[in-house]
Structure 1
Amino acid sequence: MSSSAATSSLHFKSISYASPRPGLKLLVTGAVHGNETCGTKAIRRIIEELESGKLNMVAGSVTFVPVANPLAYQRGERSGDRNLNRKLQPTSEPKEFEDYIANWLCPLMAQHEVLLDLHSFRGEGEAFVMVGPENNDGPVEPFRFAQQEKAMALRLGVNRFVDGWLSTYARGVDRRRDYLATLGDKADAVQLLNADPLFGMGTTEYMRSVGGYAMTLECGQHLDPRAPEIAYRAIINTLAHLGLIAGGDPEPVSMEALRIYDVVDKTHKDDRFSRPWTSFDTLKKGDLIGIRHNGIPVHAEADGRIIFPDANAQAGEEWFYLTKASGRVP
């Protein structure tokens, strides 16, 4: 476990509410990353409303985890010992604090049918939802609840729908392994971890792997005062959509559907962007995105949008992702 004395006072906490009537089992998580607090604020607001009687369960059950990573939350940082939302799985030999979280959180996810995971992001940009793949029996992420995820996503109250995460991450891992082969024993621990095929497994991927469905709602920039309200409205809409509270099914909203199709890594600390990019900036084929340390330009191969640009990424880490239009949402 982490050597920090602060961890000795930390604990994991979930709060559950159940109706006498049967229904779906929903899990809502906040602060998987400790500096992403909009979900924590929204969850605590919902709990107050359930306690006061302003909200009432009419079917099924909901479990809230206001702070999934208490060490990172205590520090006000993204991670404690490591990123909880990568390589998320139980382990018989926990070493880092996030391993202990996984040994508590993964069984909790397996007890539920639906997960809403609330996040925010560092750069400027508008809120969006990340969903899983279309139904498939493939080796990367077999799935059978695509329609349920889509229906829920359309009712969260945001206007962008993004898929393709795990399959794109798997392609990135293959590319990283080829790159590491050229480094030999010079590869560092971060580069080795990023080349682990399980490293792309986070909360939603784990939830799907145990038979449920899930989505990540990115509620906006970390400090955007609108983000907690976006998270709150998404929880209310999800509870209503799943029939857990009264009020009827919210109306679906119009959405731009995007598919992640490629990830580009930094290969040297001096790789740099051509301009300060933000998530969902438009790209035209041939646009200059960045310049490698040796002067080689990196151009957009197709029309689309950039997401998760990270100017502070380390060598061997994801630098940015590329998306293109998807036909999943009319």
Structure 2
Amino acid sequence: MRFPNDEETLRLHGFAALRPGPRLLVLGGVHGDETCGTAAVERLRAELDGGRLALSAGELTLVPVANPLARRLGRREGERNLNRSFQPSARPADHEARLTNLLCPVLARHDVLLDLHSFQSAGAPFAMIGPRDNAGPLEPFARAVEEGRLAWHLGTDCVVEAWLDVYAARLARLGRADDAEALAFGWGTNEYMRSQGGYAVTLECGQHRDPQAPEVAYQAIRAALRLLGMADGPAPAPAHPRVLRLVDVTDRAAPGDRFVRAWASFDRVRAGETIALRADGTPVPAPCDGCIVFPNAEALPASEWFYFAIDSDRRLDA
């Protein structure tokens, strides 16, 4: 049953143990067509409410649907992408800006964020993390070890780093390297969480309709709770995933741009191999040996079409 103004209400469920510990926030439904996180959050909430699971330390906040309007519409966005321009606004101009103003204080009062997503193309689940520790101007950070440790224990075969670096490089290529507003558009929940002194992992749980995606999301929440000492049980075993570094992103320029085949995330390609064709037949080659990430055959012109990644030397256990 849906009530008339559901999309104007953000539902949060809070649980606090008597013993102090980390403050973990779990988000589902940042994008309306990504339902696996919602299913996992609701399953965990029911277990907590029913006494089948107990929080032994710290505080847990669950947000099953972070963008209710997009969920009602059954599409990625309500009025725009909630996972962009994720910073408070004194004059919120759209639905997602109003949601951001509600969510930013929630993120700021937590230590750890687990953001549950899925993706449009085929592919295996993977985790996304931020930069290594640094004091640079783009995304200064000092909790890379904790962030990497969380990603290491979520059970995926792959972890991807360096989203904001690639986004900034895209702006530079477009001649907008000094455009602060455009760079701020690249901020999502994770970037905001890091700016507030916490750390964050995005878990891409599989293709949108993969029947296993809700289970991947649920097991990841349980693993995070055990790893952080917030629920009883042994700490999860590390998955020993390979680590990839994003190095490039290619935009779709016109509706006639097309992939040469149906790519899946982490498909390997060789340097010079044709990935796609522009509308006029010009090939789009792989810049080097590596793999494709987030191929989106339905991308709109002037938006991200696919990312390119190479093997990283980053260690998640140190």
Read off the aligned partner of 1:221 and give its amino acid letter: Q
Contact kept in structure 2, 1:208 and 1:214, CA below 8 Å: yes
Give the C-alpha shift of residue 270 in structure 1: 2.1
- 2:163 paired residue number: 165
CA gap 1:296/1:6 in 2 versus in 1, 3 angstroms = farther
- 1:114 paired residue number: 112
Output the CA distance in 2 between the equivalents of 1:79 and 1:323.
26
- 1:263 paired residue number: 249
Output the CA distance in 2 between the equivalents of 1:7 and 1:83.
20
- 1:62 paired residue number: 60
Q: 2:74 aligns with which of 61, 73, 76?
A: 76
Output the CA distance in 2 between the equivalents of 1:293 and 1:51.
54
Q: TM (normalized to structure 2)?
A: 0.94
Give the C-alpha shift of residue 108 in structure 1: 0.5
Give the C-alpha shift of residue 308 in structure 1: 1.1
**What whole-Å deviation, never above 9, does each CA across 1:27-63 have from its counterpart, x for those lacking one?**
0000000110111110111111111111111111100
- Give the superposed CA RMSD: 1.9
- 2:195 paired residue number: 209
Q: 2:154 aligns with which of 153, 156, 160?
A: 156
Q: TM (normalized to structure 1)?
A: 0.91
1:293-308 correspondence runs (5 A): 293-308=279-294
- 1:26 paired residue number: 24
Q: Percent identity?
A: 48
Give the C-alpha shift of residue 8 in structure 1: 7.2
1:96-245 correspondence runs (5 A): 96-177=94-175, 196-245=182-231
Read off the aligned partner of 2:285 and give its amino acid letter: H
Read off the aligned partner of 2:299 and give its amino acid letter: A
Unaligned 5+ segments in structure 1 are 180-191
Q: Quick check: 169-178 or 69-78, which moved more?
A: 169-178
* Greater than 3 Å deviation, 4+ residue runs: 5-9
Output the CA distance in 1 between the equivalents of 2:237 and 2:229.
14
Secondary structure of 1:196's aligned partner: helix
CA gap 1:33/1:8 in 2 versus in 1, 3 angstroms = closer
Give the C-alpha shift of residue 329 in structure 1: 3.4
In the comparison of the two structures, how many residue pairs are matched? 313
Output the CA distance in 1 between the equivalents of 2:118 and 2:54.
28
Output the CA distance in 1 between the equivalents of 2:273 and 2:4.
48
Contact kept in structure 2, 1:255 and 1:329, CA below 8 Å: no
Output the CA distance in 2 between the equivalents of 1:260 and 1:177.
20
Output the CA distance in 2 between the equivalents of 1:235 and 1:156.
8
Contact kept in structure 2, 1:122 and 1:222, CA below 8 Å: yes
Contact kept in structure 1, 2:26 and 2:115, CA below 8 Å: yes
Q: Does 1:327 align with 2:313?
A: yes
Read off the aligned partner of 1:133 and give its amino acid letter: P
Q: Does 1:289 align with 2:287?
A: no
Read off the aligned partner of 1:143 and give its amino acid letter: F
Unaligned 5+ segments in structure 2 are none
